[in-house]
Each structure stands twice: as structure tokens, then as C-alpha cells.
Structure 1
Amino acid sequence: MARRGWLLAWVVVVVMVAVNAPGGDAHNITAVLEGSPEYSLYNDYMTRTKVADEINTRETVTCLVLPNAAMATLASKGPLAAVKNALRLLTLLDYFDPTKLHNLPGGATFTTTLLQTTGSVTGNQGFVNITNARGGKVTFSSAVAGSKPDATYTKSIKEIPYNLSVLEVSAPIVFPGLFDAASTARSNLTALLENAGCKTFAFLISSSGVLQMFQSATGKGLTVFAPNDEAFKARGVPDLSKLSSAALVTLLQYHALPSYTPKASLKMQASGRIATMASNAAGKYDLGVKVQGDDVSLVTGVDTSRVASTVFDDAPVCLLTVDSVLLPIELFAPAPAPAPGPSGKAPSPTSPAPTATPPAPPTKKAPAPSPMPLSPPAPPMDAPAPASSPAEGPGNENPADESMAAGTTILGTLVVILSALCALGSIL
């Protein structure tokens, strides 16, 4: 019975570990292509755009990989944000290996891509048609009307049934208008924040000069965690008007990363700490990341805040909203607990601090009693009763009572020991 219970407990632990393990442990697309120099440019853009992180969090996916020449053509067609969407369109959210491609029911199929999950496309822009043409040729084209089947299956690179399939294709999948939209102007971060309900945060970064710091970082990479307006009204948020200018700047910098780190990339960093724009050489002012299912939360040391939504994702800039103001422990460390008072309990915050009792004066050594002590004269009949001695006053127990209490404690201890010995004897 004990062995069965132990095995059951072990199974429960294994199941819990499996359930809580991050999905990114299943495969790593950049690691798969790392030893293939003919795909180095594709691999580089997968890393720069963070599409690799989005792929690595998926359980089932097919990556259509471009050789260097085709990837160079794609990279030259538009800004990095458009290239990112094109790479998402090359990522199919289903498993397709060569056998499945050449045995499509009816010779064609319609499948979803990673682009569709962003919510930023309309109509059929996030879908792809796969067609098994004559002579064993398999083509890929956008499901948008007027798109051409320019991408052709070339060969299989890696297969992990039925989780990851990596296939080489001859050209990118495109649709009319994919590269037409210019990259959103990053200079107007405040307008983006205000439209997202983060007007207080937008005002603070503008009035403090932090906005210029954010704009300077947009070229290399910037991620901003913007609390919404309600977050600044929440209970427990300190009065920011009482902070010094330097402390306020540090607090606002703590809400940004000097790198492009969208939500999918945050999931990949759940095991460590990430540096913020306020971090220094000593490693302070960093953030922890907590992942539970699809939810991502930021851990400050004072509190935890959930990443609520993506306001703007234009590589290498990302604006995310969070549910609460991020309070770095270096600025808002919790107050230490008050020291316990004489009674062993912490003094009430409203009660005055206890005053220290002055030390008692040294007592003089009592003279040795005489062999035949004389009895003191009897007090007059109308004399008041003698005051009780200090040893019998409030808070000072009589020595006889202390002796009795000590005896009771010892007796109780002996009873407990005897009971334990009897129980042990019955077991043996």
C-alpha cells in the first residue's frame, strides 16, 4: 500500500512538471538551421524579427525556409516590420512533410499561418493555399485573390513528426499590398500610448524627458511596458509627485527594455531576469518573467503585473500595456516589520513607542542575620496596612508562584515523554 502511494505521488509530480513546462522546449528553429550556412540570412532575420520565438512556442508548425538568395530579395522589398509579416506568412500552423504534401486530398488544401494569429490582417491575408500540381510539383500561394503561386517546394530539411517540419521553398509567399504600407512613424509614441488608454504614462514620459530617451533607442530596439490610466489610481501606488526628478526618471526607465522583446520573446525568458533601461552595472532594476499558459507577467520584487495587450509591434519597437505600475524594489522596498515589544507582540502603529525602563540601582549586600533576631514591635492598632512589596506588585509574580509554575511545566513535560515511550513500546 505504501509503495502504491509513493508511485502515485511520483506520477502526480511528473504530470505537473510536464504541464508547466514551457512549450518552447519542444523545438528550436534557429538551432535546427544553425549548421546550414545556406540558410544563414533567413536564420538571422528570424532572430532579428523574433519570429523564431513565436515559432518555438508552438507545438505543431511547418517552417518554409528561404535560401540566402531568396531571403536577400525578400529583405530588400520593405521595412523590417513587413519582412516580419512575410516570415510569419511562411510559417504554417499545421504539420506538412513531403508525404503529406504529395498526397493532399483533392490535390489542394487551405491552411492557417502565423500571420493570422496577430490580428493585424484582414480577409484571407493570413491564409495560404497549397497545391499539388502536375509532375509532383507543390506550390504555395497567398489565399488573397490575385496572388501568384511563386513559392515552390524544393526539399525537406528537418522532420520531427508531428511537431516540426522544416521545408525549403524557392521564393517568399506574398500578396498585393504586403510591402506597400510604410512602417508606422515611431516618433509619435505618445499618440500611440494615448490611443491605448495610457495618457498618464504618456504625460509622465513627455514631461520628464524620458520620451527622448525612448526615441533614441528605437533604432536599435525598444520595448515599453505602459500602465493604463486606471493603474495609476490603484490602491498602494505611491504618490509620484513626491519622488525626486531622478527617482521619477528611473521609475519610468524601469518600464522599458533596451531591446525588441515582444510577448512571445518574453515567454522564452521565464527562467531568468531581464535588464531594463534603468539597470546599471550592479544588475539592479531588472525584471523577472512569470509564464502561466498564454499569460505573461512581470515580477518586480514588490508586485507582479500581467502583460495585458500589444499596442504596437513594428520591429524593432514594441509597445505593450500592463495591468499595474511596475514598482522596483530598489525604490519601493517594503517597510521592515516593527521589533516586538516587551510582551512579545509588535507594538501597534498608533500606540506610542514604549519608553525604556531605567536600570535598577545596584543592591547592597545584606548584613548577615544575628543568631537571635529580635521580633519587630507590633504596629499600632490604627496604623495602615503595610504596602505590598515590589515583588508582589502588578507584573511581578511571587517567587512561590514561579516555583509552582515551573514544577507544573516539568510535570507536563514528563507526562509527554512517558506517553511517547508508551506509544513507542506498543509499536515495537
Structure 2
Amino acid sequence: MDDILDKHMSIYTLKNVLSLHVFADYFGSKQLHRITKGTTLTATLFQATGEAPGTSGYVNITKMKGKKVGFATEDNDGHFSANFVKSVQEIPYNISVIQISNIITSSAAEAPVAPPTDIDLIDLMSKKGCKEFAKLLQNSQISKSFTDLMENGLTVFCPIDKVVNSFLPKYKNLTKNGQTSLLLYHGIPDYHSLGMLRSKNGFINTMATTKGKNNKYDFSVQNDGDNVKLETNIVTAKITGTLLDEEPLAVYKIDKVLQPSELFKAQSINSEDTAPEPSSGDDEGDGETTANNNGAMIMSVNGGWLITFVLSIALVFV
């Protein structure tokens, strides 16, 4: 797996490589060792989605000497890069999870993939209730820091206009570095769907997090039923709506401005990013609105692409 990760592929290309590991037919351990005529071709998710050029989304499965079973893409020149290791889980003729020795890949799967139609993040937020936050990003000239991450994974939490307007006095009292850190604090350099956030409890780093420094700029994600709350040591914000949730970009509305403890705390603790302490007014009153190794795995399925794809990704990294 490290060989693939070292190539720093875009998320779209990586999805194509991973989709080669999801088969459209059932292959348990017994079926693999009883292949008719000793070899067969099977379609993968890469082929089924139409992303594969020609028949490059087929995988060749062949019985080899010593009771080994090899896996390779269709055009393999007789070279099988991966072998069957063991069965992990089988539900006969429904779902089979098997372990193989290496990743299956090809030049077709690794070919650069153009991202979907470009999304104007600033325009998206401006039109859907986060115009004031979008203005702050533009005026601070750090909007590029957000857009540069959109291809490989980005999650943005944008406070609604009402709370941003109420927060502006505190924002203006920060130094330029502090303002930049505050805005970056509202972005996570990874894609997190709402479902992923709902299943997560714990601290998460932000775009403002700097390695090797004491300023963590993280916050805690906490779930309360269907509600997702973002907790700093200063405020607790709630996700109140979804502007966009299409991998690799997710943008959510929140009902408060996230305030990191690195910027909003006693003056006695030095921070190069903080100006004199902002007004000690009620932090909860920012205009709140009431309202959420290298072993690889293959999943072969007879139906149910979504479940098998998720499982195959999880198992590839085991």
C-alpha cells in the first residue's frame, strides 16, 4: 500500500485503483481453487462504473503452481503481481472478503483523472447563507488556502451571516496572524461526510494546526443524537445545515463562530497570534440560532456495490 500512497495520487485516481479490488462475482476460497480451466476474467467496480477504458477494468484470476492463485489486470503479460493469502470472511454466494499479497493496479487505473466541474467555494457560501464568512476569507486573501485543498479533501464549517456580524468586533481586535488562524480554524484538510462526523467523537486537527508548535488549534467533535457539535474550550457550535457534501468537498453551516483557546484566553499566556484580549462579553452570544502492510484486500460481491467498496477500503489499510 505504501507504494501507492507514495505516488500522491489525487483522490479520484486513488478511487479507480481501489475499485479494481471490488469484484462483480463471488469468489470464496473454494471457488478460487476450483476455477474452470484454471483461469478466468472477472469485472470489477472500475469496469462497472465506466471509468475504465476498454476492458482494462477486468481482473485475471489464475490457478498457479503450488496451489497458489494469482491476480492481475487483464493485460498483464503473464505477470501476476498479487497472490491469494487467506479468506477473511465469507457469506456463501453473497459476500467474500479475501486477503491478497499486494495491491492490484495498472496504468489505466493510475491515469490522472480530471476533477468534477470546478466549484467556486466563495460563491457557494455566499449564495447559501455564509456570505459574511466568505467575505472574510476573500479580504484576508487566504481563500486560496482552502481552494488548494479541494481536490484532495476539504471540510469547511461556515458560520451563518448573523453570527459572523455579531462576532466582528472580536475578530477586528485580533492581529492579522490571529485573524488568519481563526479563519483556518474553520477548515479541516480532509473530507468528512456528515455520516463520518456523526460516527466520530474526539479531537480533530484543523487547517490552523501547525506541527511542532504548542498551538494545536484543534477542537472536539461530539454527537448528541442526530446533532453534531463542535466543541472548543470557549464555545460549542452545532452543525445546522449542509451546503455541499460531495467527496472530496463538504461544507456545513454552523450556528457559532469557532473560537480556539489559542486566541481567546487570559492575557497572561503569551501568543504571537493574539492582540489584546477581546471583549469579555458572553462568548455564547455570538448571534446563536437555535436548531446537527502492504497486504491488500479484495471484496467480491454479487450486488451491493456501496457496502463492499467501503469495506474494501477499510481492509486495504489493515
Q: What is the TM-score with the length of structure 1 in the denominator? A: 0.40
For residues 88 and 329 of structure 1, what CA distance do their matches in structure 2 show?
A: 38
Q: Which residue of 2 aligns with 1:27?
A: none
Residue 166 (1) aligns with residue 99 (2): yes
Change (3 A) 1:137 1:286: closer
**After superposition, what is the alpha-carbon deviation per residue over 1:14-60, rounded to whole angstroms, capped at 9, x for unaligned?**
xxxxxxxxxxxxxxxxxxxxxxxxx6535xx1xx7xxxxxxxxxxxx
Q: Which residue of 2 aligns with 1:255?
A: 186
User: What is the SS of the residue equivalent to 1:87?
Assistant: helix
More helix as a share of residues: 1
User: What is the SS of the residue equivalent to 2:121?
Assistant: helix
Q: Which residue of 1 aligns with 2:238?
A: 304
Change (3 A) 1:232 1:171: closer
For residues 206 and 173 of structure 1, what CA distance do their matches in structure 2 show?
A: 41
Q: Which residue of 1 aligns with 2:283?
A: 333
Q: Which residue of 1 aligns with 2:207?
A: 277
Q: Which residue of 2 aligns with 1:207?
A: 139
For 2:166, the aligned partner's letter is D
* Preserved CA contact (<8 Å) 2:185 2:258: yes
User: What is the SS of the residue equivalent to 1:327?
Assistant: coil
Q: Which residue of 2 aligns with 1:232?
A: 160
For 1:209, the aligned partner's letter is Q
Per-residue deviation at 1:237? 6.2
For residues 195 and 76 of structure 2, what CA distance do their matches in structure 1 show?
A: 32
* Preserved CA contact (<8 Å) 2:86 2:100: yes
Residue 320 (1) aligns with residue 250 (2): yes
Q: Which residue of 1 aligns with 2:298?
A: none
**After superposition, what is the alpha-carbon deviation per residue over 1:396-416, rounded to whole angstroms, capped at 9, x for unaligned?**
xxxxxxxxxxxxxxxxxxxxx
For residues 307 and 140 of structure 1, what CA distance do their matches in structure 2 show?
A: 44
Residue 179 (1) aligns with residue 111 (2): yes
Change (3 A) 1:109 1:91: closer
* Preserved CA contact (<8 Å) 1:223 1:261: yes
Change (3 A) 1:297 1:100: farther
For residues 296 and 175 of structure 1, what CA distance do their matches in structure 2 show?
A: 42
Change (3 A) 1:140 1:160: same
1:278-427 to structure 2, matched below 5 A, reads 278=208, 281=214, 283=216, 286-290=219-223, 297=228, 299-300=230-231, 301-305=235-239, 308=242, 309-311=244-246, 313=248, 319-324=249-254, 327-328=257-258, 333-334=283-284
* Preserved CA contact (<8 Å) 1:86 1:174: no
Q: What is the TM-score with the length of structure 2 in the denominator? A: 0.51
Q: Give the CA RMSD over aligned residues.
A: 5.1
Residue 155 (1) aligns with residue 83 (2): yes
* Preserved CA contact (<8 Å) 2:70 2:80: yes
Q: Which residue of 1 aligns with 2:17?
A: 87
User: What is the SS of the residue equivalent to 2:254?
Assistant: coil
Q: Which residue of 1 aligns with 2:276?
A: none
| Alignment gaps of 5+ in structure 1 | 1-38, 49-74, 142-146, 314-318, 336-428
Change (3 A) 1:327 1:127: farther
Structure whose CA Rg is larger? 1
Per-residue deviation at 1:207? 1.0
Q: Identity percentage over the alignment?
A: 12
User: What is the SS of the residue equivalent to 2:283?
Assistant: coil
Per-residue deviation at 1:242? 3.9
**After superposition, what is the alpha-carbon deviation per residue over 1:296-316, rounded to whole angstroms, capped at 9, x for unaligned?**
945235232178444563xxx
More strand as a share of residues: 2
Change (3 A) 1:173 1:307: farther
For residues 30 and 194 of structure 2, what CA distance do their matches in structure 1 show?
A: 31
Residue 41 (1) aligns with residue 3 (2): yes
**After superposition, what is the alpha-carbon deviation per residue over 1:61-104, rounded to whole angstroms, capped at 9, x for unaligned?**
xxxxxxxxxxxxxx3xx844465234322332787444333446
Change (3 A) 1:193 1:165: same
- Which structure has more relative contact order (CA 8 Å, sep 6+)? It is 2
For residues 224 and 44 of structure 2, what CA distance do their matches in structure 1 show?
A: 29
For 2:283, the aligned partner's letter is A
Residue 244 (1) aligns with residue 171 (2): yes
Per-residue deviation at 1:255? 1.1
1:117-132 to structure 2, matched below 5 A, reads 122=50, 128-132=57-61
For 2:220, the aligned partner's letter is L
Change (3 A) 1:203 1:184: farther
